[in-house]
């Protein structure tokens, strides 16, 4: 078999694991000697259980309640912000033993994840309130471009804003945004190290150390190594490591400078998923939709160990400058350059020829080699000012960014397979050698089959480039102590270019688009009591062609072709999303517990739809009506809770001329009901127990409502014990009942199965 694989230098995470392990062992030895030291004098509320992800700095407050978002664009505390915002704090990340962005977001109802394949890249693809948010993830308020599977070893908290949010984040953000707040250097010395050992050969090491070099200078280093298989899945494994140093100058002074770097690499045997079944002939139908069919064994893996792989790399460098002109006037400039890479060949269990119906599965190879680079400069001016006697808490800014993406693939030779329509019509008689191992059994696939096709780099591909120039302003105007007016306006000039080319470099297609658009928000808050408010709000977002860099979205661009037939200028308009929301927020139990409730309607117009084989128009409409409830914080000093419920009624209102048949159908990746509950109770100053329940209604994979994944409820449990003031133990059991369920639905062919029962024991040291 001939193979010509691209080489990505991925250092061995075992070396990093060994280094972290030595550091943790050496440090913990001295502290273990203090095991007899009494910790009874510690306040009960100060008991802490450190998981694989650890926190630095002050550890006196472990509440799930957060009063204010990190971004200066939010010009008021959360209780006075007229929109739904959920903040996942560090303590919740630790208590739930979350290690990835998807792990952490499972605690927020109303968010689902879609699956990737060849065209839509592998990686985090969250849907917020039914709208694709793959390109709406931010790091410290700056867009984090490029498809990735994000780690959170260097993340302090995660902020989820729901509803159209272009006024804050720019293009896209139809359903909301996700902002990750990174761990940065701070004054003081601290050390946190964790070792997690678990089922399915899980080993995870983390180290988080902060050192103060002088009165104003400090450095921080976060390290991570992770190796694991996946409970309930044959052959799948994940192997990654990361490093995130941070330097800060001028701490405690009016002028501060931060230099941060993030690097993460992975080398996995990815999960190829489970194929959908066929309930009617060879076609999925809305009358009899199909769910995943595992052939009787949920552990079945349909990939090929000798062929499949996925390698990723992310490098992000950030330079930020802050200056306080006064207590009421501040400026911050953030300059960032990031580079993300994906390289994979993975097997998609393809059901497109009805083969699942007869017990066979076609091993279709999905491939991708892509690199995305982003350079952004963002300047924010914010503070408080009185105008005509009224207080204004404001934030204004300018954003300049350039994003480029290059995508190509592999040529995987499977042409020796007999059959029709390109060799994808598997039958039982073709399983194994007759198909050169490209057909396998639905009920008993063998990942070690001696596949004998060939692999070669295919340098035909596409290049995309986006340029953004934007100016924005947000303000909370205090009309009186009881009435607040929240306003926001942003103007974007967005340019996108797209080019496809052959392996020889000849251009096959060109497209471009220039969009100028305004996004806004307006909200009125009535402070019924100092600890409670009622609000109404209106917000918009705009999604121009080319927004989803590093995906197949808007390719080809629709427009007027030149005489060569290559489209040079698009005539597409941005999609427009509008949100109307009525809500209330209260801090109760002596302001320890935050409660929120909201009803909303989100409408998307100008949606791009295909009107014939070669033409796209802004003609589609979708709408989501919903209700959200949440609670976060302490009921008592010992009892914490983080809970929420979301109801979503998402429908396609107008699918355009070619999709009228699906009007009125439920939107994909939009569960009608979803709920989450996580709670902990400190039985003693040393012992804490907790658990969670997570429910998601059935989710359709496509707007035709012909594929779906069933509803599920998952239960988790945890217990932590403080051996000494410096050493903790924590046990987490995730998916306690070993429920077989699917957490990602693709539109056709397959769905991704979630991990089965997983036990994790973490030993942490800190001082």
In tens, the pLDDT along 445-468 reads 999 999 888 899 999 999 999 999
- Distant-in-sequence, close-in-space partners of 327: CB < 8 Å, separation ≥ 6: none
Phi, psi of 405 (to 5 degrees): -140, 135
Band of the pLDDT at 57, cuts 50, 70, 90?
very low
Average pLDDT of the residues in 474-492: 97
In tens, the pLDDT along 517-554 reads 999 999 999 999 999 999 999 999 999 888 887 665 54
Pick the residue with more confidence: 196 or 7?
Answer: 196
Cα distance between residue 18 and residue 7, in whole Å: 25
Band of the pLDDT at 513, cuts 50, 70, 90?
confident
Question: What pLDDT, on a 0 to 100 scale, did the predictor assign at position 696?
Answer: 97
CA distances from 250 to 8, 57, 183, 247, 442 (A): 38, 18, 17, 10, 62
Lowest mean pLDDT among 364-368, 379-383, 600-604, 655-659: 655-659
Pick the residue with more confidence: 58 or 615?
Answer: 615
| Whether pLDDT at 200 is above 80 | yes
Question: What pLDDT, on a 0 to 100 scale, did the predictor assign at position 61?
Answer: 60
pLDDT mean across residues, the chain: 86
Average pLDDT of the residues in 196-218: 97
Report the first-to-last Cα separation within the chain, whole angstroms.
54
In tens, the pLDDT along 261-317 reads 999 999 999 998 999 987 666 677 788 888 999 999 999 999 999 999 999 999 999
| Whether pLDDT at 577 is above 80 | yes
Average pLDDT of the residues in 357-367: 88
| Whether pLDDT at 64 is above 70 | yes
**What is the percentage of the chain residues whose pLDDT exceeds 90?**
68
Cα distance between residue 541 and residue 129, in whole Å: 14
Band of the pLDDT at 610, cuts 50, 70, 90?
low
* Domains of the chain, CATH where assigned: 13-766 (2.40.170.20)
Residue 735 near residue 755, CB atoms below 8 Å = yes
Band of the pLDDT at 51, cuts 50, 70, 90?
very low
In tens, the pLDDT along 322-359 reads 999 999 999 999 999 999 999 999 998 987 767 787 88
**What is the percentage of the chain residues whose pLDDT exceeds 70?**
85
| Whether pLDDT at 150 is above 90 | yes
| Whether pLDDT at 377 is above 50 | yes
**Which tokens hold the place of 246?**
């941070």
Question: What pLDDT, on a 0 to 100 scale, did the predictor assign at position 372?
Answer: 94
Cα distance between residue 393 and residue 382, in whole Å: 8
Phi, psi of 705 (to 5 degrees): 55, 35
Residue indicated by tokens 């707040």: 181
Cα distance between residue 50 and residue 40, in whole Å: 18
Cα distance between residue 172 and residue 156, in whole Å: 25
In tens, the pLDDT along 726-766 reads 999 999 999 999 999 999 988 888 899 999 999 999 999 99
Residue 312 near residue 270, CB atoms below 8 Å = no
In tens, the pLDDT along 101-139 reads 999 999 999 999 988 765 667 888 899 999 988 889 999
| Whether pLDDT at 557 is above 90 | no
| Report field, pTM of the whole predicted structure over 0.85 | yes
Band of the pLDDT at 436, cuts 50, 70, 90?
confident
| Whether pLDDT at 583 is above 80 | yes
Pick the residue with more confidence: 616 or 700?
Answer: 700
In tens, the pLDDT along 618-633 reads 668 999 999 999 999 9
| Whether pLDDT at 15 is above 70 | no
| Whether pLDDT at 472 is above 60 | yes
Quick count: other Cβ atoms within 10 Å of Cβ 719?
A: 17
Average pLDDT of the residues in 24-41: 37
């Amino acid at each position: 078999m001939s193979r010509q694989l691209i080489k990505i230098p991925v250092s061995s995470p075992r070396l990093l694991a060994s280094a972290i392990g030595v550091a943790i062992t050496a440090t913990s030895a001295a502290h273990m000697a203090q095991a007899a030291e009494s910790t009874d004098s510690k306040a009960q509320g100060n008991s802490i259980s450190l998981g694989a992800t650890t926190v630095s700095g002050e550890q006196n407050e472990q509440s799930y309640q957060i009063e204010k978002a990190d971004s200066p664009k939010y010009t008021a505390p959360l209780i006075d912000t007229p929109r739904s915002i959920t903040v996942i704090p560090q303590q919740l990340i630790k208590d739930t033993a979350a290690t990835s962005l998807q792990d952490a977001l499972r605690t927020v109802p109303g968010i689902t994840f879609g699956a990737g394949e060849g065209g839509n890249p592998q990686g985090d693809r969250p849907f917020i309130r039914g709208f694709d948010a793959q390109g709406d993830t931010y790091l410290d308020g700056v867009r984090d471009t490029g498809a990735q599977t994000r780690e959170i070893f260097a993340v302090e908290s995660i902020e989820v804003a729901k509803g159209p949010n272009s006024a804050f984040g720019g293009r896209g953000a139809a359903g909301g945004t996700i902002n990750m707040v990174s761990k940065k250097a701070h004054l003081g010395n601290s050390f946190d190290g964790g070792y997690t050992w678990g089922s399915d050969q899980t080993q995870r090491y983390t180290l988080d150390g902060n050192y103060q070099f002088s009165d104003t200078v400090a450095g921080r280093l976060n390290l991570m190594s992770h190796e694991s298989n996946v409970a309930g899945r044959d052959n799948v494994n994940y192997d990654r490591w990361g490093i995130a140093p941070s330097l800060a100058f001028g701490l405690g002074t009016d002028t501060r400078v931060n230099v941060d770097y993030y690097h993460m690499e992975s080398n996995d045997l990815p999960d190829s998923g489970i194929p959908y079944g066929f309930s009617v002939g060879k076609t999925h139908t809305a009358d009899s939709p199909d769910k995943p069919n595992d052939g009787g064994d949920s552990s079945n893996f349909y990939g090929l160990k000798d062929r499949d792989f996925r390698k990723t790399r992310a490098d992000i460098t950030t330079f930020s400058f802050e200056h306080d002109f006064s207590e009421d006037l501040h400026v911050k400039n953030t300059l960032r350059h990031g580079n993300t890479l994906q390289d994979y060949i993975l097997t998609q269990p393809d059901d497109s020829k009805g083969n699942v119906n007869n017990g066979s599965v076609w091993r279709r190879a999905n491939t991708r080699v892509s690199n995305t680079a982003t350079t952004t400069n963002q300047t924010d001016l914010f503070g408080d000012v009185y105008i005509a006697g009224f207080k204004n808490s404001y934030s204004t800014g300018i954003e300049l960014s350039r994003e480029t993406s290059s995508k190509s693939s592999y040529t995987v030779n499977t042409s020796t397979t007999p059959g029709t329509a390109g060799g994808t019509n598997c039958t039982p008689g073709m399983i194994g050698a007759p198909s050169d191992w490209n057909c396998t059994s639905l009920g008993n696939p063998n990942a070690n089959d001696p596949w004998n096709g060939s692999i070669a780099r295919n340098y035909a591909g596409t290049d995309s480039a986006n340029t953004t120039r934007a100016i924005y302003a947000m303000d909370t105007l205090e009309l009186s102590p009881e009435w607040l007016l929240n306003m926001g306006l942003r103007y974007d000039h967005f340019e996108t270019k797209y080019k496809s080319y052959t392996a020889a470099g000849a251009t096959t297609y060109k497209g471009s688009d220039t969009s100028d658009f305004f996004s806004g928000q307006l909200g009125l808050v009535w402070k019924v009591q100092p600890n409670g408010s009622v609000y109404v709000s209106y917000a918009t977002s705009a999604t121009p062609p080319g927004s989803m860099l590093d995906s197949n979205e808007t390719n080809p661009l629709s427009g007027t072709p030149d005489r060569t037939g290559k489209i040079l200028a698009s005539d597409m308009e941005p999609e427009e999303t509008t949100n109307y929301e009525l809500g209330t927020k209260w801090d109760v139990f002596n302001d320890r517990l935050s409660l929120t409730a909201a009803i909303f309607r989100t409408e998307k117009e100008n949606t791009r739809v295909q009107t014939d084989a070669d033409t796209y128009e802004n003609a589609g409409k979708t709408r989501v009506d919903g209700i959200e409830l949440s609670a976060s914080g302490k009921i008592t000093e010992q009892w914490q809770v983080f809970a929420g419920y979301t109801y979503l009624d998402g429908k396609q209102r107008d699918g355009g001329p070619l999709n009228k048949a699906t009007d009125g159908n439920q939107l994909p990746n939009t569960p009608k009901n979803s709920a989450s509950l996580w709670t902990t109770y400190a039985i003693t100053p040393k012992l804490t127990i907790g658990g969670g329940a997570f429910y998601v209604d059935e989710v359709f994979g496509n707007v035709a409502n012909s594929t779906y994944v069933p509803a599920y409820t998952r239960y988790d449990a945890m217990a932590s014990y403080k051996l000494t003031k410096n050493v903790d133990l924590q046990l987490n059991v995730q998916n306690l009942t070993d429920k077989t369920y699917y957490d990602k639905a693709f539109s056709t062919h397959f769905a991704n199965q979630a991990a089965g029962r997983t036990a994790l024991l973490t030993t942490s040291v800190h001082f």
